Amino acid sequence: RFCRGLQEIAGVEILSPQEEAYRTAMISFRMKNRPYADINGQMAKAKIRVRPVAEGGLNCIRVSFHVCNHDAEVDRILDVLRTLA
């Protein structure tokens, strides 16, 4: 659900495997028009916890989901990202 939503947002580059057989609950991405630190800051303002990943020059955001996350939480993250696109 989250990957599909990311694919619909202009300027998003998904770094995690997109093939279903290789997907995990951790999804890394970056936005071509926004520094990862800005995305992290906007998520923090929205009280959404993500992890900025600077190691290896990735400069991206990682979102980690778990069984306790609901569709509404996924939608909320995507809504914030849409405002940044």
Write the pLDDT tens digit of every residue in 11-61.
999 999 988 888 888 999 999 999 999 999 999 999 999 999 999 999 999
Nearest to residue 31, comparing CAs of 23, 21, 41, 20?
A: 41
pLDDT of residue 46: 96
Residues belonging to the chain: 85
Separation between Cα atoms, residue 43 and residue 37, nearest integer Å: 10
Contact of 84 with 42, CB cutoff 8 Å: yes
pLDDT of residue 32: 94
Contact of 66 with 2, CB cutoff 8 Å: no
pLDDT band at 81 (very low <50, low <70, confident <90, very high): very high
pLDDT of residue 9: 96
30: left (phi over 0), alpha (psi -120 to 50) or beta: beta
Q: What is the mean pLDDT of residues 66-71?
A: 87
